Amino acid sequence: MKEPRAFPRRWNICGAELIAETFSSRIWKVLREDDSVAVVKALKPFDDVEDELRGAHFLRWRSGDGAVRLLDVEGSDMLLEYGGERLLMSVLDADGDDAATEIAADVLARLHRPSQHPAPPQLQPLRERFDALFARAGKASGSGNDDSYRQAASTADLLLESTRSALPLHGDLHHDNIVFSPRGWLSIDPKGVLGDPCFDAANLFYNPLDRDALCADPQRITRMAKILSQALKLDPCRLLDFAFAYGCLSAAWHGEDGNEKDESRELAIASAVRSVRADS
């Protein structure tokens, strides 16, 4: 490994390699003095940095059950258990979509297991996370995608009002956030949300991001809803409702960023999810 950048002395890091960089963070694979390997996630200053910091609270609370362990935090730098390099995408390619969905369902089941510790107070309430969808629906003028946004906002409002059990949620589970480690399949990069467990499964319907035909396939949507609802003991209709609302929320985020291509992509898949829900 290359010479490390400056890390806290107590982390005992003797080598570091930058393995990824996104708009929000730099990811370092680090070697520690005891020859163990870990990861440092160094957050950049950006608008939604609180999203990432809430994830640290979620990881600390989860304490390794279904997720990589948070080893330490220094400012906006996190020292994390190294989860490995094999992503859930490899299972989809080798063994098929259903096999990948079953693994994701198992990870979610572990993430949603009860804890002896209370939920971290720093987690984001799920209604707050839907702010962009409610704002977009409020601007609807009756043309273009307005019908989808209005229906999704109405659906989300009903779902949020009827939530009986609010749990700490990963908030961003998908095929690139599930890795195979020496401890089995684990999640990484949570957002730290508090709300209905159906929300945690919703993002899977829109992933992988480069498989639009797969994601919009009614048969795939139906199979995914069945696998997830059975494994997690969730109402499949409610799960599909959350998937529809989530897709429009994601589209609203892309709309805020001026990303019309991805906004249209999310709305198209959301429409397919809504059609499957109507037939269920």
pLDDT at position 47, please?
Answer: 67
Active site members: 172
Place of tokens 């730098």: 77
Across 207-234, b (16+ Cβ under 10 Å) vs e yields: bbeebeeebbbeebbbebbebbbebbeb
| pTM of structure | 0.94
Beta-carbon contacts of 170 under 8 Å, excluding residues fewer than 6 positions away, are 58, 67, 108, 111, 177, 187, 190, 191, 193, 200
Q: 158-205: per-residue pLDDT in tens?
A: 999 999 989 999 999 999 999 999 999 999 999 999 999 999 999 999
CB 246 within 8 A of CB 199: yes
CB 42 within 8 A of CB 77: yes
The Cα–Cα gap between 70 and 57 comes to: 9
Q: Is the pLDDT of residue 145 over 90?
A: no
CB 101 within 8 A of CB 204: yes
Task: Please give the structure tokens belonging to residue 191.
Answer: 């957002």
CB 273 within 8 A of CB 240: yes
Q: 219-234: per-residue pLDDT in tens?
A: 999 999 999 999 999 9
